[in-house]
Amino acid sequence: MKLSKLAERIEGALEGDGDWEITGIAGLDEAGDGDITFLTNPKFAAVLEKSPASAVVVGRKWTGSSPCPVVRVDNPDKAMALCATLLGPAIPAPEPGIHRTAVVSDDAQLGEGVCVGPHCVVESGAEIGARTVLMSGCHIGHDTEIGDDCAFDPHVIVRHRVKIGNRVVIHDGAVIGSDGFGNYRDGGRWHKIPQIGTVEIGDDVEIGANTTIDRARFGMTRIASGVKIDNLVQIGHNVQIGENAAMAALVGIAGSVVIEADAMLGGHAGVGDHLVIGRGAIVGGKSGIAKDVPPGDYVFGYPALPFRKFVANQRNVSRLPELKKRIAELERRLAELEKRE
Amino acid sequence: MKLSKLAERIEGALEGDGDWEITGIAGLDEAGDGDITFLTNPKFAAVLEKSPASAVVVGRKWTGSSPCPVVRVDNPDKAMALCATLLGPAIPAPEPGIHRTAVVSDDAQLGEGVCVGPHCVVESGAEIGARTVLMSGCHIGHDTEIGDDCAFDPHVIVRHRVKIGNRVVIHDGAVIGSDGFGNYRDGGRWHKIPQIGTVEIGDDVEIGANTTIDRARFGMTRIASGVKIDNLVQIGHNVQIGENAAMAALVGIAGSVVIEADAMLGGHAGVGDHLVIGRGAIVGGKSGIAKDVPPGDYVFGYPALPFRKFVANQRNVSRLPELKKRIAELERRLAELEKRE
Amino acid sequence: MKLSKLAERIEGALEGDGDWEITGIAGLDEAGDGDITFLTNPKFAAVLEKSPASAVVVGRKWTGSSPCPVVRVDNPDKAMALCATLLGPAIPAPEPGIHRTAVVSDDAQLGEGVCVGPHCVVESGAEIGARTVLMSGCHIGHDTEIGDDCAFDPHVIVRHRVKIGNRVVIHDGAVIGSDGFGNYRDGGRWHKIPQIGTVEIGDDVEIGANTTIDRARFGMTRIASGVKIDNLVQIGHNVQIGENAAMAALVGIAGSVVIEADAMLGGHAGVGDHLVIGRGAIVGGKSGIAKDVPPGDYVFGYPALPFRKFVANQRNVSRLPELKKRIAELERRLAELEKRE
């Protein structure tokens, strides 16, 4: 595709020669001749200067210099997503229909164009919306409802009585609706509390590989529309996650936590049970949350503190040897004075 | 079910009108008309006061006020488990027998009433006890022995020569008996140490979704009876876990650790290799254990300290700016005195 | 096998009676009559002194005393691996061929002696090298290339267009080539960035159970030869891992991180995006890496510091009460002096 045409497709303003043929798409580090690349973070501008890429997409206000033609756009990340769709390798469309090795209950309801891959299991009473794709080895439990245009990777497990919206993407090996961790102690032993609730997931949610989302003890574990969850994340029973919240890999959310809309949690962050992460709050990677986080706050550490306080603490601790010296010096001088009295 | 009858079934003392019809069970936050709910933690008493629930189960000694009839019991958590069984949705019983798509070795031994779900694999020499249920896609390795009345969710993997007791519950995608992480360095490279040991699991153990329990290098990784393990937990080779110990999600236990009976580990806690967590000890969430924890201790932090010490350290660090001010003030006053001499 | 012969096979120097019959292999804690055991760490010498083992393998320079015959070798870990192979239980060889329940595309290419287990799926255009074994339920995506002599445990998922070298071991439930976590924000919502890159894995790599390795946004996520990865590890998109690097369970590596050759990461360690862990560096368990780690450094903590600095900080913090006392004492003495003026 000619660069001029590509620039048009991504609604960008072209600066430079639009006749170049763009044949590929690559990150700044790896882009070569024929590739279009992206400067999404100004701190990598130095990499761009040495890049043999054939074109670069930048933000409208970027003021640096480029060795190749520039396409200015409102949102370089959005342009990247568009280019990946336009220039990426073709993905073979899954064949609609039920694979001969799949085991689908007679009373399951499958919408138009549904694809049920090899070795899938769809239990009694399950409903799957139009054009939803189950790759190989998925398990859909009884009476579970799944919306339209969902894409489930191989070995996704959605247990019984779960509700999932439209356009939900679930990656390989993720488990939705396994039992919550609920036990009571009696006679010196643990006994199981049946987990009779379920999970409700909105539209446009993405759930990472091998992530686990527990069903509620009673009622619902709720994941609102637009939530993005990375790999190997644990969501406990009765958790409520608000719209467009996002969390990175290996995050752990204990039971009955509320994460409000637009909140973000870094990798390995952990939240104790029954706490509230306020709307738009940011929890730094590896933070341990032991009390509510107010809306919009940026917290960090273990136990988590407002980011500035966390940084100040770290700096103060690293300067303790200096404080000790000042105290020793004071002691020396004071002893000197006392001697003179 | 009438409230009076339900109170009887859970061995509770009813205070208020027993004629109410109880049709459901719900958490304090969500209970509505017709529901029975539970006050298991006095700190949620304020929620109860505004609840439209039809009845509430409380502890014998609770002294607060309730807007609805009260059922007093010895152990509200136990009553909750009973009510969930009595009032929860009926779960379709799995059909006993071997699904036509399962691959079961001719010399595997299956007890009476065993259910082997679709796409399961049971290898040569495996033994499965009476009434044990394997849901879809489970893999049971050769010469593995599984007891009676176990329940394995979809895609549970139990590798070869593992021994599992009775009434063990294993959730979706958990892996029991994968190789331990054992390598030696020679000629500047890593080489694998064969992991020829196995795993032994007692009775009444529960293992969470996508959790991994490694087989021993030699001998046994041992999980004693009554142990409860949450989702996404890693148990290394040759670990020994004592009776009724419990650990939350994303915990990591390195090789050859001993966790004694009744110990509890919070989410994301990690224990270094060859260490001992003493009987009944509590390890706080996200703690990093780098030395043995004595029986009964409550430790927290990274590296973990006795809880009081951890809290005192945090407080002391947050007050460093104040210490610095006091030192500066001392320096000023001392300089003043020195000048006068 | 006679001890004298075993000593010969592991190229060891025997001290003591070589006529003992060695029938098993066991760890120091568990070794009994007939077993050979291993002293790989001198700190366990006391355990050896009370051991009923029939022989022990030690390093050439070890100077302690032993209650049983000793075999001296250059590398006791290497000898342990050899003995495990010689004395461990026989493992039934998987039968070559395609299991009748496997679903293999007509245009997939399978090398000589390949074993495709029950319920596996091999998609169009995939190539699998000679003698590679797929245990039950593996999924190999379209156009993926896998080398010779690989061993994939049950339920391994390798998505489309991935390249894997020779002698690669992948444990149960691991996912290679799932989508990276890439979203952009537009109109107050998250939108997915297609992940059109892939994963390239060298020779002799080992990948743990339920570990997830994401495909690149563009280009490649690269795992070089000899890398060893434990269970439940997350490797983000576009990560580059150098030869013979190793990482323990529950480690999380964010996108575009570079881990150079021979680096080692302890359990639960986390590395922020775009950072570099230098050649041979060691990252302690549970550390959080927020800036580059120079080659050969040993860092620890959150945020990570050079190990000595980390330890000094911990010690200084724990001594804060003492500092406070010294300040209070200075204040008292100074006030005394001031009064006298």
Q: What is the pLDDT of residue A84?
A: 94
- What does the buried/exposed string (b/e) look like for B314-331 if buried means 16 or more CB atoms within 10 Å of the residue's CB? bebbeebeebeeebeebb
What pLDDT band is residue A41 in, cutting at 50, 70 and 90?
confident
Residues of A forming the active site: 237
Domains and CATH numbers, chain C: 3-87 (3.40.1390.10), 97-308 (2.160.10.10)
Going by C-alpha positions, the residue among C59, C85, C81 that lies closest to residue C70 is C59
pLDDT exceeds cutoff 80 at A341: no
Strands A282-283 and A304-306, sheet pairing: unpaired
Peptide bond into B89 cis (omega under 30): no
Note the pLDDT tens digit of each residue in A113-168.
Answer: 999 999 999 999 999 999 999 999 999 999 999 999 999 999 999 999 999 999 99
Alpha-carbon distance C128 to C135, whole Å?
13
Q: Chains with 3 or more CB pairs closer than 8 angstroms to A?
A: B, C
- B25–A272 CB contact, under 8 Å: no
Q: What is the pLDDT of residue C289?
A: 98
Q: What is the pLDDT of residue A339?
A: 87
- A196–B89 CB contact, under 8 Å: yes
Residues of C forming the active site: 237
Note the pLDDT tens digit of each residue in C180-195.
Answer: 999 999 999 999 999 9
What pLDDT band is residue C92 in, cutting at 50, 70 and 90?
confident
Least CB-CB distance to A210: which of C212, C313, C323?
C212
Q: Residue A137: its chain B contacts at CB < 8 A?
A: 119, 137, 155
Chain C CA closest to residue A248: C181
pLDDT exceeds cutoff 80 at B341: no
Least CB-CB distance to B157: which of C81, C117, C155?
C155
Going by C-alpha positions, the residue among A133, A172, A175 that lies closest to residue A153 is A172
- Residue B117 C-alpha from the chain's centroid: 26
Alpha-carbon distance A138 to A94, whole Å?
15
CA distance C217 to chain A (A): 8
- What does the pLDDT average to over C252-278? 98
pLDDT exceeds cutoff 80 at C64: yes
Going by C-alpha positions, the residue among B123, B160, B154 that lies closest to residue B138 is B154
CA distance A292 to chain C (A): 22
ipTM computed for the complex = 0.95
Which of C43, C170, C268 is the best residue to mutate to test the B interface, defined by the most B CB atoms within 10 Å of its own CB?
A: C268
- A78–C175 CB contact, under 8 Å: no
- B183–C228 CB contact, under 8 Å: yes
More confident residue, A92 or C299: C299
Chain A CA closest to residue C119: A119
Q: Which residue has the tokens 């919009």?
A: A296
Alpha-carbon distance A198 to A215, whole Å?
4
Alpha-carbon distance A21 to A216, whole Å?
54
Catalytic residue among B139, B155, B171, B237: B237
- C338–B337 CB contact, under 8 Å: yes
Report the predicted TM-score, pTM, of the whole model to 2 decimal places.
0.96
Note the pLDDT tens digit of each residue in B28-75.
Answer: 988 999 999 999 888 889 999 999 999 999 999 999 999 999 999 999
Alpha-carbon distance B268 to B300, whole Å?
12
- B231–A178 CB contact, under 8 Å: yes
Question: Is B237 part of the annotated catalytic residue set?
Answer: yes
Note the pLDDT tens digit of each residue in B66-116.
Answer: 999 999 999 999 999 999 999 988 878 888 999 999 999 999 999 999 999
